[in-house]
Structure 1
Amino acid sequence: MKNSSHQALFFKAQSSDALLDETLQEALKKAKGGFIEKRSQAIADVESFDSYKQQAQLVKNHTLDHLAYYLTQFEENVVKNGGHVHWASTPEQLNNIILHICERRDAKFVTKGKSMISEEANLNEALEAAGIDVTETDLGEYIIQLAKEPPSHIIVPAIHKTRQQVEALFRETHDLGERDLDKISALVDEARLQLRQKFLDADVGITGANMLIADTGSAMLVTNEGNGDLTATLPKVHIVTASIEKVIPDLESASAILRVLARSATGQPITSYTSLFSGPRDIEDLDGPDEFHVILLDNQRSQMLGSPFEEMLKCIKCGACLNHCPVYSAVGGHAYGWVYPGPMGSVLTPLMTGLKQSSDLPNASTFCGRCEEVCPMGIPLPELLRQLRNREHEEHLTPWKTRFSLQSFMWTIQHPRLFHWLTKMTRLILSNSTLTHFFEKHLFTSWYNSKELPKNHSKGTFMEQYKQNSKQKKK
């Protein structure tokens, strides 16, 4: 049972622990370069990636402007295809709907494809509490299910695990004997062996959806392992979990998003499997489910519509912002405390769970702007984080010391003479090792715990040097 309880309030403490975890740092270091290099190469291979991004953004902008219309059209076409659509305002409602379907079918075994919505709802815990055997079939999700951990990345859930850790986990939980698992290919074969019978035994299969096609009533799923197809077609019941902003008008719109999705996520032109599921099987079909259900989750998303944070509904969950974020690359995903890590998570988590419970996250950023640069949907993540910081300040959620410091700084810079005098004093203090040590150990301990100031070797403050250089130029 994975522990994905909300702990985003403690990002500072969790990130400090992550920085000291040598095994985690080794895993993150190995993963980071590969993502960045593959994405760069995939984009360099096409001449018109900026054009692809513009087309994808136009699709999302248009859909969000007419979201109610396309959701209604999608529901009508799913029903025409013989399927069922359920609406869930909260994660708890989503879990109850799934439990009701499983109970009605007397389901004992459930297989799951990768689904961030099921992570939002903590679905596995709900199924297990009802006595249902649930198995994750995505390799990364399977690994962290065995480890009883939440995912640490939205596309590579077990990115924080080294090969040695996975081997040890398999030896602990599988009946392996003396089988050799020194190679990654052997670990993959072992997982495949364990999952094969699970696919065949499953009464219900649950998948996510990368897109919902309104004019066909189809759920589109993109994967690299093929587990999604087996989860969707082998059991008698297929349940799709998706959030309301996943709907798009048609297949042409889907192709616009597909062009940027895999390139941004894994550096591929397209994923190995791109599948469409449009309802239960027909009488003449040899395989496929007898029942097809789509559960649409809101979970605060409708509140984002028309707000300054509507841009987040354009997110296609590619993970590019995580892969290029210096904060995520340093501490990994678990430090963020909930389902969505990285820059996108630092915006989404406060909006979905409450800013009071996630007040650390808007500050988990260097504001380097790299996340916005690599986002295929052009989401202004630094600006959204800045707005959340402003809201924190207005609601007095930031510590009083922080508020006092900011207000003092604002007052000081409004009085130039005082400001220039203080900068001179600061330079003198930093030039004196005894005074610097006193400030470090007694006045600004928490600040110095995570930062270091370089030794001051300047010949004056910035303004003093600026004036001096200006005089020399005039000569």
Structure 2
Amino acid sequence: MSEQRDMDDLKERVRVALNNDFLRNAVKFTTEKLRKGKQAATDELGNWEEWRERGKQIRLQTIAHLDYYLSLFVDNLRAAGGKVHFASTAEEAVQISLKIMKAKQAKSVVKSKSMVSEEVQINQALEEAGIEVVETDLGEYIIQLANETPSHIIIPAIHRNRNQVAELFSEVAGEKLPADTTVLAGFARSKLREKFLQADIGITGCNFAIAESGSMVLFSNEGNARMVSTLPKTQITMMGMERIIPSWEDLEVMATLLPRAATGQKLTVYMSAIHGPKRNDEVDGPEELHVIIIDNGRSHQLGDPDFQEVLHCIRCGACLNACPVYRHIGGHAYGWVYSGPIGAVLTPVLNPDKGEWREVANASSLCGACYEACPVKIPLHDMLVYIRRRNVEEKRTDVIEKLGMSAFGKIASNHKRFRLAVKAGQLGQKFIARKGKITAKVGPLKNWTTYRVAPTFAQRSFRESWRQLDQELKQEMSLPQNQEIRQRMQEIIAKRGEKSE
């Protein structure tokens, strides 16, 4: 496992990320490029806010009636020859997959990029069962060799440079490969082609499932999803239960929103529609198609006024690209397969029993950039506040935070105590402030000042400034000319009062 994933403490994961200069520069460069691409693509499209609102309404309608649309999808898929399985938990999804593979006596599996398969940790389970599993998306292939989780929803190896990739590929090749992107891509292509031809089973995710036809649609930029879904005789699709949309007409909206929000593309390079296993007159496609519809905590959000909208997510990664926190610490600091603002919400709500993951909600500035970037208007910044609120209500905050907030409450609730505290701060900062900044790495301050400067108390507080302004106004109004104006205004007000009566 990666170093980041082994560390249970959020602060330690963040510390590791902040001290990795390459990671921070790579993430900053790539997310900036993606954001600029998104801006250019949405400007060219025009009426982007109208498209966002349309996308939001589709997701609202779908999730509000998810039982109906899921039932319709399942009926249509079964009518087309597909086999449907329901998994309440990640463990059930894994067991269903293993049962299918055992029935097929499968020895090798190829996978296309799928976040939900990362979520249920299918790769680990297959390896333990003695089944070879190979990721065929280039980024996923890289992090599989590195034994890591994705660092970004759509660019999983964003944190790796070509020298590191060359080392990983050289181990597989059995020879030293140069750190040349053309050579490395060529090696991956030739290696993966062998795996495509040998695989007994292909595993895919599902970007969107069309309820009205029982079809599934995969978006990709490398074509590997099409190979995974056509060459092996058996295909397993792992699908989060919320991936439904009602109709092909709705897909037009999603196909417009997702690539522009994710990478700035007008359209994803490959869009594959799967409608059951292959027919007798078709030359490619799986002989058997199994779809595993996975809950794994999603149904708990249905009907929850705080978190139901998290199920609207279309996994574009735009919130990661916009988030100032993600751009500094990358994906592994979040501790699970989902990172950035969506990860900070999904991780704790899908894993309510793991209270330690709720602290990820604190890794946010609550600036709302994620909401502005989201193509379906998910209010992630509000949800992060809801998680923090529930942490407090369920007494999940640490002792230092409790003491700090308790002390602040007592000070802020009394103007005399507050004034004394401000005075104490103004005096105390003289020992640690230099040129209007606090850089001293002492006590609780060091968590802040290790990577940035802390602001100082103003020489004059707001209350002091207000008091002085009030005195100046009173003095000014006491002047003869102003007293006359004041008297005339009072007379006008009195006359208006008489008229109204």
Normalised-by-shorter TM-score class: over 0.9
Corresponding residue for 1:221? 218
Whether the 8 Å CA contact 2:438–2:454 is kept in 1: the answer is no
Q: Aligned partner of 1:212: which letter? A: A
1:453 paired to 2:451: no
Whether the 8 Å CA contact 1:9–1:359 is kept in 2: the answer is no
Q: Cα offset for 1:352?
A: 1.3
Q: Aligned partner of 2:58: which letter? A: V
Whether the 8 Å CA contact 2:41–2:264 is kept in 1: the answer is yes
Corresponding residue for 1:319? 317
Matches within 5 A, 1:115-264: 115-176=114-175, 180-182=178-180, 184-264=181-261
In 1, the alpha carbon distance for the partners of 2:368 and 2:167 equals 39
Matches within 5 A, 1:434-449: 441-442=442-443, 444-446=445-447, 448-449=449-450
1:234-254 CA distances to partner (integer Å, 9 max, x unpaired)?
000011101000011111111
Matches within 5 A, 1:288-307: 288-307=285-304
Q: Cα offset for 1:444?
A: 4.8
Corresponding residue for 1:24? 23
TM-score normalised by L of structure 1 = 0.94
Equivalent residue of 1:360, what SS? helix
Whether the 8 Å CA contact 1:112–1:231 is kept in 2: the answer is yes
Corresponding residue for 1:361? 360
Paired positions, count: 471
In 2, the alpha carbon distance for the partners of 1:139 and 1:434 equals 49
Corresponding residue for 2:382? 383
Q: Cα offset for 1:373?
A: 1.1
1:156-195 CA distances to partner (integer Å, 9 max, x unpaired)?
1100101221122212221345x6442x232211210111
1:101-124 CA distances to partner (integer Å, 9 max, x unpaired)?
111011111100001111011000
Q: Cα offset for 1:470?
A: 5.5
Q: Aligned partner of 2:212: which letter? A: D
In 2, the alpha carbon distance for the partners of 1:61 and 1:388 equals 21
1:353-409 CA distances to partner (integer Å, 9 max, x unpaired)?
225131320101111111111111111111111111111112221111101211222
Corresponding residue for 2:329? 331
Are the structure 2 counterparts of residues 433 and 156 from structure 1 closer, same or farther at C-alpha, using a change threshold of 3 Å? closer
1:80-102 CA distances to partner (integer Å, 9 max, x unpaired)?
00010100000110011111111
Identity %: 40
Whether the 8 Å CA contact 1:114–1:138 is kept in 2: the answer is yes
In 1, the alpha carbon distance for the partners of 2:443 and 2:139 equals 45
1:344 to 342, 353, 356: 342
Are the structure 2 counterparts of residues 277 and 470 from structure 1 closer, same or farther at C-alpha, using a change threshold of 3 Å? farther
Whether the 8 Å CA contact 2:439–2:454 is kept in 1: the answer is no
Whether the 8 Å CA contact 2:4–2:332 is kept in 1: the answer is no
Which 4+ runs in 1 deviate beyond 4 A? 2-9, 434-440, 442-451, 469-475
In 2, the alpha carbon distance for the partners of 1:59 and 1:216 equals 17
In 2, the alpha carbon distance for the partners of 1:181 and 1:279 equals 42
Are the structure 2 counterparts of residues 438 and 74 from structure 1 closer, same or farther at C-alpha, using a change threshold of 3 Å? closer
Q: Cα offset for 1:22?
A: 2.4
Structure number with bigger Rg: 2
Whether the 8 Å CA contact 2:438–2:455 is kept in 1: the answer is no
Equivalent residue of 1:245, what SS? coil
In 2, the alpha carbon distance for the partners of 1:219 and 1:58 equals 21
Q: Cα offset for 1:418?
A: 1.7
Q: Cα offset for 1:471?
A: 5.2
1:417 paired to 2:406: no
Q: Cα offset for 1:32?
A: 2.4
1:408-444 CA distances to partner (integer Å, 9 max, x unpaired)?
2223222122212211221222233499999953565
Are the structure 2 counterparts of residues 448 and 273 from structure 1 closer, same or farther at C-alpha, using a change threshold of 3 Å? same
Are the structure 2 counterparts of residues 226 and 335 from structure 1 closer, same or farther at C-alpha, using a change threshold of 3 Å? same
Q: Cα offset for 1:454?
A: 3.6
Equivalent residue of 1:365, what SS? coil
Whether the 8 Å CA contact 1:369–1:382 is kept in 2: the answer is yes
Whether the 8 Å CA contact 1:8–1:338 is kept in 2: the answer is no
Corresponding residue for 2:498? none
Q: Aligned partner of 1:406: which letter? A: M
Are the structure 2 counterparts of residues 136 and 187 from structure 1 closer, same or farther at C-alpha, using a change threshold of 3 Å? same
1:435-474 CA distances to partner (integer Å, 9 max, x unpaired)?
9999953565555545532455x43112222443555577
Whether the 8 Å CA contact 1:8–1:336 is kept in 2: the answer is no
